């Protein structure tokens, strides 16, 4: 439970930084990478994290942000990136083959492409952590004394 509250605090801090950000900085990207590494349930793949660090050092912000999505949220897929009226719109979804109206979409906009992707990443992390938190609060069902019986008529 402590890990979930720390992660929620980390997400809240990054949301505040992204709201104030006018440009991408190495410190901001390092915070995003730290969040992605914490979110990994399996041991983090060292080569993916090193590739993201390489793009951060090269200041390839859009490439680093896209790799961060793949690394930190493998169950979320990039649905759409569009540029309209001076704003980048970025949509992430969990269920790719479904139509957008059936999917759990996170859609954000920002004048800078990397910040739009990073904001969508943080919002998807918040959605995922809140749904995980809700799943933990559901009481478990105790096994009953009754056995299921097949009642089909196979004549």
**pLDDT tens readout for residues 10-42:** 677 777 777 777 888 888 888 888 888 876 655
pLDDT tier at 135 (50, 70, 90 boundaries)? very low
Per the CB < 8 A criterion, the answer to whether 39 and 7 are in contact is yes
What pairing do the DSSP bridges indicate for beta strands 87-93 and 77-84?
Answer: antiparallel
Is the per-residue pLDDT at 138 higher than 60? no
Sheet with 87-93, edge to edge strand ranges: 77-84, 87-93, 106-110
Q: What is the pLDDT of residue 62?
A: 93
For residue 81, the model assigns a pLDDT of 93
Using alpha carbons, list the distances in angstroms from residue 151 to 30, 143, 145, 146, 148.
Answer: 58, 21, 18, 15, 9
């Amino acid at each position: 439970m402590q890990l979930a509250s720390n992660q929620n605090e980390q997400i809240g801090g990054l949301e505040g930084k992204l709201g104030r950000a006018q440009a991408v900085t190495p410190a901001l990207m390092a915070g995003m990478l730290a969040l992605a590494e914490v979110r990994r349930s399996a041991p983090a793949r060292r080569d993916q994290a090193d590739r993201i660090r390489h793009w951060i050092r090269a200041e390839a912000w859009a490439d680093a942000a896209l790799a961060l999505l793949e690394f930190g949220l493998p169950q979320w897929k990039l649905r759409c990136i569009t540029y309209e009226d001076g704003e980048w719109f970025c949509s992430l979804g969990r269920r790719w083959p479904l139509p957008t109206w059936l999917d759990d979409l996170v859609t954000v906009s920002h004048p800078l492409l990397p910040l739009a992707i990073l904001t969508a990443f943080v919002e998807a992390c918040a959605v995922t952590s809140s749904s995980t938190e809700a799943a933990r609060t559901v009481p478990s069902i105790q096994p009953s004394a009754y056995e299921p019986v097949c009642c089909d008529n196979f004549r």
